[in-house]
C-alpha cells in the first residue's frame, strides 16, 4: 500500500488538543505524527481540520440506496459524508436477511472490496416490538435461527439487537457474546429486572435510547414512576446509542444522557434510511415508501400521503458530527469521541483516534466542517475537488 503524508493540518489528538502538524502513513497505519519523515505523496491540508474518520454503527440506507442494494454504491455515498467505517443494518425476516448477507459477501469478495464495511448488524428478528418494521420481520429466539443467520453472515455479524423480555433472551445473549457479537437491548417493553438479566448475560449496548422505549404511566398521584430508560441512564455496563438529529431525541434529553453516562458510553448514530443525505425536496422513494418530503437532515423523512408522519432518519454521519458542535454545543474533541472514538472502542476497532499504530482512517474538514477528503487505510476514497 503506498505511503501518504499529510502536511499542515490542524490535527485533533487523543487528548483533545488541536495542533498544526503533519502525519505519515505507511501500510494503512499512522506511523508518525509530526513533520513527515520523507518525500512521499503529500496531501496539503493547510487551514483544514484532520480528525478521525466517522463510524456509523446503525445505518439502513442513504440516498436512494438501502442495505438490500449494492454495498459498493452505499460505501461511495458514505465516503462523501465522512464515513470511514460502518455496519450495514438489516431489518427483515431471517431468510431475507440471510440472502442479503450472502449476496453481499459474494459480490464484495468477503467485504474486501468495501473496506469501510467492518461488519453487519441485525436489528431483527429477535424483537418484541416492530417500531417502524413489520410483524413478518420478527421471529422467536431459536438456536436454529441463530445458527442459520451466523452461517449466512460468514463471521461478519458484529452487532445483534435483542428484546430482553423474549423467551430465551439471556441464553441467546450469552451464546452470541461468546461468538464475539455485541448484543444490544432494543425495541422493548421489558422490566428493569429483565434488562438487568440481559446485561448480566453480556448485553453492552442500547439501541437508539428513548426511541421505541415506553414511558411508564403514573399510577399513583404525586409518585414519579421509574422506567427502563431511567435505569439505562445510570447503568454503567452499557453504552447508549442516540440518533443525533434533535428530532428523534430532543436536545435536552441528549444533554441529560451525556451528563448521566460515562464519557465513553454514548455513541451517536444516524439510523439512516432511504432519503438520508438528499437535498431538501419531495421524492418518490423505492420499496413502497411512496412520496416523501425532506426539509433537511434533522427533521427526518416525512411521508406526504400519511399525514407527514416520520418514516425514518435523514441524518448522515457528517450531519451528526456537525450537530454535536452546533446543536448540542460540544467541542470538536467531544464530537469526535461520540462519532468515532466511542464506537471504535465498543466494537474493538483499531480506529477512532489519531495515534501512531492506529488505522489511517481520517477525515479532512474545511473550517465550515465540509468534507474535503475521506481517507480509509491511508487511501483517499473521497475528494471534494474531484467531486466538484
- In order of their start, the domains of the chain are 1-52+352-388 (2.30.40.10), 54-350 (3.20.20.140)
Q: Give CA torsion, residues 198, 199, 203, 205, to 10 deg.
A: 120
pTM over the 0.85 mark? yes
> Helix-strand-coil percent breakdown of the chain, rounded to 5?
30, 30, 45
Number of H helices and E strands in the chain, helices first, is 11, 22
Three-state secondary structure call for residue 4: strand
pLDDT at position 130, please? 81
- CB 301 within 8 Å of CB 311: yes
- The long-range contacts involving 309-313, CB below 8 angstroms and separated by at least 24 positions, are 310/247, 311/132, 311/273, 311/275, 312/60, 312/61, 312/132, 312/271, 312/272, 312/273, 312/274, 312/275, 312/276, 313/243, 313/245, 313/248, 313/270, 313/271, 313/272, 313/273, 313/276
Distance in angstroms between the alpha carbons of the first and the last residue of the chain: 27
- CB 81 within 8 Å of CB 62: yes
- CB 378 within 8 Å of CB 384: no
- DSSP symbol at 339: I
User: How many Å apart are CA 361 and CA 55, to the nearest integer?
Assistant: 10
pLDDT at position 1, please? 65
pLDDT at position 99, please? 98
- Cα angle 353, 357, 362 (rounded to 5 degrees) comes to 40
Residue 206 bridge partners (DSSP): 185, 240
User: How many Å apart are CA 280 and CA 54, to the nearest integer?
Assistant: 23
- Cα angle 221, 224, 227 (rounded to 5 degrees) comes to 130
pLDDT at position 38, please? 66
Please report, in tens digits, the pLDDT of each residue of the chain (388 residues total): 679 999 999 999 999 999 999 999 999 999 999 988 667 888 999 999 999 999 999 999 999 999 999 999 999 999 999 999 999 999 999 999 999 999 999 999 999 999 999 999 999 999 998 866 677 899 999 999 999 999 999 999 999 999 999 999 999 999 999 999 999 999 999 999 999 999 999 999 999 999 988 888 888 888 888 899 999 999 999 999 999 999 999 999 999 999 999 999 999 999 999 999 999 999 998 888 889 999 999 999 999 988 898 888 999 999 999 999 999 999 999 999 999 999 999 999 999 999 999 999 999 999 999 999 999 999 999 999 766 5
Q: Dump the DSSP string for 112-180.
A: TT-TTB--EEE--SS-S--TTS-GGG-----HHHHHHHHHHHTT-EEEEEE-TTSTTHHHHHHHHHHTT
Helix residue spans in the chain (DSSP H): 71-80, 94-107, 143-153, 169-178, 192-201, 228-233, 251-260, 317-326, 332-336, 342-347, 384-387
pLDDT at position 364, please? 98
pLDDT at position 387, please? 63
User: How many Å apart are CA 276 and CA 37, to the nearest integer?
Assistant: 41
Three-state secondary structure call for residue 87: strand
pLDDT at position 321, please? 98
Amino acid at each position: 500500500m503506498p505511503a501518504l503524508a499529510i502536511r499542515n493540518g490542524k490535527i485533533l489528538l487523543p487528548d483533545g488538543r488541536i495542533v498544526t502538524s503533519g502525519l505519515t502513513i505507511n501500510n494503512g497505519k499512522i506511523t508518525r505524527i509530526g513533520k513527515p519523515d520523507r518525500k512521499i505523496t503529500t496531501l496539503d491540508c493547510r487551514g483544514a481540520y484532520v480528525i478521525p474518520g466517522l463510524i456509523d454503527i446503525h445505518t439502513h440506507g442513504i440516498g436512494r440506496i438501502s442495505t438490500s442494494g449494492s454495498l459498493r454504491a452505499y460505501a461511495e455515498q458514505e465516503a462523501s459524508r465522512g464515513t470511514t467505517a460502518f455496519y450495514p443494518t438489516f431489518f427483515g425476516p431471517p431468510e431475507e436477511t440471510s440472502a442479503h448477507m450472502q449476496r453481499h459477501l459474494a459480490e464484495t469478495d468477503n467485504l474486501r472490496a468495501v473496506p469501510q464495511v467492518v461488519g453487519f448488524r441485525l436489528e431483527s428478528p429477535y424483537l418484541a416490538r416492530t417500531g417502524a418494521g413489520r410483524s413478518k420481520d420478527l421471529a422467536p429466539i431459536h438456536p436454529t435461527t441463530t445458527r442459520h443467520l451466523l452461517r449466512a453472515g460468514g463471521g461478519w455479524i458484529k452487532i445483534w439487537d435483542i428484546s430482553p423480555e423474549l423467551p430465551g433472551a439471556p441464553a441467546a445473549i450469552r451464546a452470541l457474546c461468546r461468538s464475539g457479537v455485541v448484543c444490544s437491548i432494543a425495541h422493548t417493553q421489558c422490566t428493569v429486572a429483565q434488562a438487568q438479566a440481559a446485561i448480566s448475560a453480556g448485553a453492552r449496548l442500547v439501541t437508539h435510547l428513548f426511541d421505541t422505549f415506553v414511558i411508564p404511566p403514573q399510577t399513583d398521584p404525586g409518585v414519579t414512576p421509574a422506567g427502563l430508560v431511567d435505569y439505562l441512564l445510570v447503568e454503567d455496563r452499557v453504552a447508549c446509542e442516540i440518533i443525533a438529529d434533535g428530532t428523534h431525541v430532543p436536545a435536552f434529553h441528549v444533554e441529560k444522557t451525556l451528563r448521566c453516562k460515562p464519557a465513553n458510553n454514548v455513541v451517536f448514530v444516524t439510523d439512516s434510511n432511504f432519503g438520508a443525505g438528499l437535498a431538501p425536496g419531495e421524492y418518490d422513494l423505492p420499496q413502497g415508501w411512496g412520496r416523501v418530503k425532506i426539509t433537511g437532515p434533522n427533521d427526518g423523512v416525512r411521508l406526504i400521503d400519511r399525514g407527514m408522519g416520520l418514516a425514518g432518519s435523514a441524518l448522515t454521519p457528517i450531519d451528526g458530527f456537525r450537530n454535536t458542535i452546533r446543536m448540542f454545543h460540544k467541542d470538536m474533541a467531544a464530537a469526535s469521541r461520540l462519532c468515532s472514538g466511542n464506537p471504535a472502542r465498543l466494537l474493538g476497532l483499531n480506529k477512532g483516534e489519531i495515534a501512531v499504530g492506529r488505522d489511517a482512517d481520517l477525515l479532512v474538514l474545511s473550517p465550515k466542517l465540509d468534507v474535503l477528503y475521506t481517507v480509509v487505510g491511508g487511501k483517499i476514497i473521497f475528494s471534494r475537488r474531484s467531486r466538484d
